[in-house]
Structure 1
Amino acid sequence: MTRARVRPGPAIVHSGIGAIDELPELLHRDGITRVLRVHGARAHRAAAPFLPHLNAIEIIDAGFTSECSPAEITRLREVATSRGAEAVLGVGGGKVLDTAKAVGHPLALPVYLAPTLVSTCSGWSAVSVYYDEEHRHLGHEIWETPTRGLLLDPRIVFDSPVALFVSGIADTIAKHVETRAAFDRADAADTLTAFGGLAAARCGELVSRHGIVAVDDMRRGVRSDAWTMLAEACVITAGLVGALGAEAGSATAAHPIGDALSAFAQTRDLLHGVKVAYGILVQLAYERRWEEIDRMNELYAALGLPRSLADLGLSAEDPVTLGTIAEIATGAHSSVHLLDPSPSAAELIATLHALEDRQSRLDSVVLAHHPSPPLKGTSPWPKSKASPSTTPRSSRPTSA
């Protein structure tokens, strides 16, 4: 019997066209009559045409103020408690979904998630990542209770900004790069960990084979098989890496580097996956996988991901910049220490110098950014009429 501690994922998963239509029956079977809905304005506009009728279910609409922050979580918990919410429904991107989990799980309320983006694996993972109101990373929390339901409907996520899909692809690459060494060291007899390793390898394989085509198809408004595979990989396959891989499936260096980059004003508004993408290169450089970096450079240029600090608006010649990145990324509680051996701050600075020297010959990259230019095509699905019950009942302003 394996002793790995796993958090497999949502209890119920519906993925595919019409997945969101399962929500009423799911709530009905669970005996839910009053739901706190967490969403931003843009997320609601994207999902509203496809949201099913929620007859006999009261929607408590409290909005969302753009960050999965302690203050916002506290506010929403107070609303849920004062209004007698029986469940939490998150409709939005990663920060909305992380907030929904952070609101519902401590209150012992079932949590249902409907992603409007595929920019992270938040819809699957049992984790909430916290930021302050200035978008600076604060840490994360792991939940013992699984999400009750995940409803991943391509009709909702297909018309999302292309840049956010690119961000999700970068985060999916990280699942492979960050966990590879740990899975290689893991006990082969540990069945669950082995499946986590297979999921991680699958993440790398799918992006390598289909990433550029999938993004190009989305830009053209074509929902292709490549796009579908990558969209599900960003949420489900990537989520399975940490869920089944336990400690071996944890982040190592790429995410701490990305978190460290959020300390700079120049990068604070960049997408999560864009910053993690640079962290991937740093980890590969630390592992001396230079040929892999050379292969990654072509993919990064096509997708709009940074290949150097200059692409991020930072100077590789500034010792303060390099020192700040290294100090934050190698902090006492950083996942970088899961590497064996783990880098010291001085070793990480040396790695940054080596990477930047190698990348200095490359042309600059125009980064994927939000909002993306409009798609050339149109959504290939008919939109259903939204129920009156999906109309916000609060006049509170909402955002992203």
Structure 2
Amino acid sequence: MKELIVRGAPQEYECQTGAWQKLPAHLSKRNIKRVLILHGEQSWEAAQPYLPSLAEFTTYAIPYGGECSDKQSIKLTSLIQEKNIEAIVAVGGGKVADLGKLTAYNNQIAIIILPTLAATCAAYTSLSVVYHEDGSMDRYDIFPTATTLVLIEPEIILHSPIDLMIAGIGDTLAKWYEAEPMIDQLDTPAIEIQVAAFAAKKARDILLKDSAAALIAMENKQLNQAFLNILETNILLAGMVGGFGDDYGRTSGAHSIHDALTILPNCHQNLHGNIVAYGILVQLIIEKKHAEILRLLPFYQQLGLPSSLQQLNLQLSDTDYQRVAKRATLPDETIHFLKEEITPQLVSNAMKELEALVNNGN
């Protein structure tokens, strides 16, 4: 068995109406006085009604620059050193959180995350997905330190774009489908991995049961239990899967397909979770789990998750299929955690088979 290290949770986590208003108290009890507020663009405007006054602190607010990249982190590091910053407060979506975590770790300062979306589990996890400047995925950095604090205000996420919540559902759904085939190869899973498997299965079950009602809540701008369930499933439960399962709870086939598709410039118009949702189905083709695909397709259709390249507005030439399949099967790609012997031809064939299945009916 591979090395297993548990990174189970942030140091502190709170999800309830009014949670953001407690930020000053959290800063004070940590004796933090100088803060860099890293934020998105549109999300920053949406966040304003919910943010507390930080007049008693020295703050520097700066937009994150659109990407979690080494270049952006280096820029922020210069400011942190110049202004003697003691903590980063990341307000925004997954890339803001990831850039905040990366930069905070590089500078050994506190990282506090106030998510404005539930599109990924980035607010919860102690890792960052780092991208090249052209938008293609570079690597995952896993940190030996937990996020200092996560404060979730359900109201701001209730008013966030519905398409981003749907993408979060797609990304979280992958937790079960990617973890299960890895865990299934273990004769005796460790207790930690059993916790990861429980969280992954619980996440899948909640998503299939409550997603439709949660989206209705967002349309009506009215909190309900289904919405709160999906919100915490996308952030907390999803984060627990990798946090307790380590490599057995992170990514396998679906994310390798996602990462490979990002080499196509036209793919960047699609949300991360939507591409991952498509990748789930490609992985299930590889695993010959056709019954599970037929189970998921109505759910995909109900939510508007893409189940084909056509629905991702991608038209691949034979050369594109070969390029994507080659990228998905690089030696260090997590798709090799599946029990099947993975080759570029297998991946290319699976993508084409899925296209025929979805577009020709099932």
**TM-score interval, normalised by the smaller of the two chains:** over 0.9
Identity rate of aligned residues, in percent? 31
Q: CA deviation at 1:348?
A: 1.1
Deviations 1:272-306 (A, max 9, x none): 01111110100111111111111211111121211
Q: CA deviation at 1:210?
A: 1.2
TM-score (norm 2): 0.96
Q: 1:243 is aligned with what amino acid?
A: G
Q: 1:223 is aligned with what amino acid?
A: L
TM-score (norm 1): 0.87
Q: 2:320 is aligned with what amino acid?
A: T
Q: CA deviation at 1:55?
A: 3.8
Q: CA deviation at 1:184?
A: 2.4
Q: How many Å separate the matches in 2 of 1:156 and 1:294?
A: 35
Per the alignment, residue 18 of structure 1 pairs with 18
User: Structure 2 regions of 5+ residues with no counterpart?
Assistant: none
Per the alignment, residue 128 of structure 1 pairs with 128
TM alignment of 1:316-395, pairs within 5 A: 318-362=317-361
TM alignment of 1:262-277, pairs within 5 A: 262-277=262-277
SS in 1 for 2:112: strand
SS in 1 for 2:266: coil
Q: How many Å separate the matches in 1 of 2:139 and 2:55?
A: 38
Q: How many Å separate the matches in 2 of 1:216 and 1:323?
A: 40
Per the alignment, residue 168 of structure 1 pairs with 168
Q: How many Å separate the matches in 1 of 2:341 and 2:163?
A: 32
Q: CA deviation at 1:220?
A: 2.7
Per the alignment, residue 211 of structure 2 pairs with 211
Q: 2:21 is aligned with what amino acid?
A: D
SS in 2 for 1:268: helix
SS in 2 for 1:267: helix
SS in 1 for 2:184: helix
CA contact (8 A) 2:287 2:340 kept: no
Deviations 1:91-131 (A, max 9, x none): 00000000000110111101100000000000001111112
TM alignment of 1:22-101, pairs within 5 A: 22-101=22-101
SS in 1 for 2:218: helix
Q: 1:137 is aligned with what amino acid?
A: M
Per the alignment, residue 388 of structure 1 pairs with none
Q: How many Å separate the matches in 2 of 1:11 and 1:238?
A: 17
CA contact (8 A) 2:11 2:149 kept: yes
Q: How many Å separate the matches in 1 of 2:186 and 2:232?
A: 26
Per the alignment, residue 179 of structure 1 pairs with 179
Q: How many Å separate the matches in 2 of 1:157 and 1:180?
A: 29
Q: How many Å separate the matches in 2 of 1:81 and 1:309?
A: 45
Q: CA deviation at 1:148?
A: 0.5
SS in 1 for 2:105: helix
Distance 1:187 1:123, change over 3 A: farther
Q: Identify the range of structure 1 (50-59 vs 325-334) with the bigger mean alpha-carbon deviation.
A: 50-59
SS in 2 for 1:266: helix
Q: Which fold has the larger relative contact order, with Cα–Cα distance below 8 Å and residues 6 or more apart in sequence?
A: 1
Per the alignment, residue 281 of structure 1 pairs with 281
Distance 1:284 1:189, change over 3 A: closer
Q: How many Å separate the matches in 1 of 2:44 and 2:308?
A: 36
Q: 1:263 is aligned with what amino acid?
A: I
Q: How many Å separate the matches in 1 of 2:252 and 2:68?
A: 22
Q: How many Å separate the matches in 1 of 2:129 and 2:272?
A: 11
CA contact (8 A) 1:266 1:312 kept: no
Per the alignment, residue 155 of structure 2 pairs with 155
Q: How many Å separate the matches in 1 of 2:225 and 2:73?
A: 37
Q: Considering fraction of residues, name the structure with more helix.
A: 2
Q: How many Å separate the matches in 1 of 2:34 and 2:276?
A: 38
Per the alignment, residue 380 of structure 1 pairs with none
Q: CA deviation at 1:341?
A: 2.6
Q: Identify the range of structure 1 (114-123 vs 8-17) with the bigger mean alpha-carbon deviation.
A: 8-17
Deviations 1:344-391 (A, max 9, x none): 11111122222222122249xxxxxxxxxxxxxxxxxxxxxxxxxxxx
Q: 1:190 is aligned with what amino acid?
A: A
User: Structure 1 regions of 5+ residues with no counterpart?
Assistant: 364-400
Q: 1:322 is aligned with what amino acid?
A: Y
RMSD of the alignment, in Å? Answer: 1.5
CA contact (8 A) 1:188 1:194 kept: no
Q: 1:345 is aligned with what amino acid?
A: P
